[in-house]
Every structure is written in C-alpha cells, then in structure tokens.
Amino acid sequence: MHEKSLYKKNMKKDLYNIEIDIDEDIKKDIEDFYFSQNDLDNIKIPLDLEDLIEEPFEEEKQEKKTYYFNWFIDLLLVSLLLMPIVGIYNPNIFVKFENVYPFFLKTHNFLEKDNLRKILGGESESVDLKNAKPAVVVKESEVKKPKTNAEELKLIHSLANSLIKAEYKWECTEVTPKTIKKVISGIDCLRDREERIYFRSNLEKWENGDFSNAVEVHNKVWSILEGNVGEAYDLDEESISKIKEKYY
C-alpha cells in the first residue's frame, strides 16, 4: 500500500515537471514571436518591393515564351521537311501559292537525287532527257492572267520549260496563242523596269511562232528565281515543232 502511494506521488511530480517544461517552451516561443514597437519601427520596406514581387512572375513568363518559341521552331522545321514529300505526291498544291512556289522549286531541285549525289561527291546518274516528263503539266484552261510579280515570273518560267531541254523541269505550261497572250498581258506586273523591257521584247516573238530565244528567256527568269539546278542548255525542237504545226 505504501509503495502504491509512493508511485502516485512520483507520477504527480513527473507530470508537474512536464507541465513546467511545456510552459517554458510556450513562453519561449511567445518571446521569440514577440516584436516590440522598436523592432517594428526598424523594419524597412525596400524601394523595389514591387519589382521583387513581380520577378518570379516575369521568370515564369520568360520560360513560357522560350517554350512556345522552341515549339514554333520545331513545327517550322518539320513543315519544311514535309513540304518536298507533299510535293512529290501532289505538286499542284504549290502551284496555287505564289509565295510558296519559288521556295518549293528550290527545295525540289536541291533534293533531286543527282544533285545530292554531286554535293556528296558521288557519281551522277545519266538522265534520259528524251523520255523524261515533268511532274506537273499545266493545261491552257488552267492558266490565269498573272496579277503579281511572282505570278508573272512563274508563268514565264513554266512556259519556257515547255520549249527547252534541261536536266530538271518541274512544271511545264502548255504553249498556245492564249497562254502566250496571258503571259504578255502580265508583263506590267513585273516590278523591275529592265525585266519588263526584256521580257516584252522577247515574248512578243513567241506570238509570231519564233521560239528561238527560249533558252535565253528561260535562263533569265531561272536566274531571277535564283535557280540552282535545271538550267536550260538547248531548245526542245520536237516540242517546238509540234506547237508550230498546231498553231502557226
């Protein structure tokens, strides 16, 4: 009985000591948290507080801009790689867009197998020009009067392709009195005065069935379009003969 009483007394003492310890801890926490008026007066708000607050948000905005920019570049590169592939299956798509046509023409020429062989140092395969056919043949009914500088240059180039021999010819337009009339009517769309004079004097010869200047005309417009493959080297006498027999 005495031992039990002693045990209870010790328990009470231990609990009392624990309470004292807890009180001391709470008191210390309160003292640490307490700010005197002097402490408050010494607190200084920085002049660039607004900038400090906005800084994390600006960093987040910059990260988003970088992300979207990189996403756009990736999309652009994929599109550029897919364009030649799309052109192989449906090249007429690019004929309808004047701003895309010159770029696609260069890309198409650059990616030609023989051209890549030359660049990489391999031997070029021989090309059977007699049996070679253009990927696109534009019929007379599809030809519209050019309304812009790019459309006029494109039509001149396409018509000239029908009259010349070149290693590569991507698009040819039927040469008829109507298509010749349309290309001459679009000469005023050319921005460069010297180009207007040159093409007018040369294309008017075509109206009379004289296509002897076709190589020079082709290479002139080919140069303006910054061609790198497909320079004309001779007249296509067979095609010219058929045109003359039919229309002149």
pLDDT per residue as tens digits for the range 125-155: 443 434 444 457 899 999 999 999 999 999 9
Q: What's residue 120's pLDDT?
A: 46
Residue, of 35 and 175, whose pLDDT is higher: 175
Residue, of 51 and 219, whose pLDDT is higher: 219
Buried-state track 173-209, b at ≥16 Cβ within 10 A, e below 16: bbbbeebbebbbebbebbeeeebeebbeebbeebeee
Residue type, 152: E
Residue, of 62 and 174, whose pLDDT is higher: 174
Q: Quick one: what percent of the chain has pLDDT higher than 90? A: 37
Pairing of strands 136-138, 171-173: parallel
Q: How confident is the model at residue 167 (pLDDT cuts 50, 70, 90)?
A: confident
Q: How confident is the model at residue 113 (pLDDT cuts 50, 70, 90)?
A: very low
Using the predicted structure, report yes or no on whether residue 176 has a pLDDT greater than 90: yes
Quick one: which of 101, 182, 193, 76 has its CA closest to 139? Answer: 182
Predicted model pTM: 0.51
Q: What's residue 109's pLDDT?
A: 52
Using the predicted structure, report yes or no on whether residue 162 has a pLDDT greater than 60: yes
Quick one: which of 173, 104, 105 has its CA closest to 139? Answer: 173
Which helix (H) or strand (E) element contains residue 98?
none
Quick one: which of 199, 207, 153 has its CA closest to 179? Answer: 207
Task: Pull the structure tokens for residue 184.
Answer: 């001459």
Distance CA(65)–CA(59), nearest Å, equals: 10
Q: What's residue 34's pLDDT?
A: 60
Phi, psi of 175 (to 5 degrees): -95, 110
Using the predicted structure, report yes or no on whether residue 241 has a pLDDT greater than 90: yes
Q: Is 171 helix (H, G, I), strand (E, B) or coil?
A: strand
Q: Is 49 helix (H, G, I), strand (E, B) or coil?
A: helix
Q: What's residue 215's pLDDT?
A: 95
Radius of gyration of the chain (CA): 41
Q: How confident is the model at residue 213 (pLDDT cuts 50, 70, 90)?
A: very high
Distance CA(29)–CA(178), nearest Å, equals: 98
**Does residue 155 come out as left (phi exceeding 0), alpha (psi in the -120 to 50 range) or beta?**
alpha
Using the predicted structure, report yes or no on whether residue 236 has a pLDDT greater than 80: yes
Q: What is the pLDDT of residues 52-99, one digit of tens each?
A: 667 666 777 777 777 777 777 777 777 766 665 555 445 555 545 555
Q: What's residue 125's pLDDT?
A: 41
Residue, of 88 and 50, whose pLDDT is higher: 50
CB atoms within 10 A of CB 111: 15
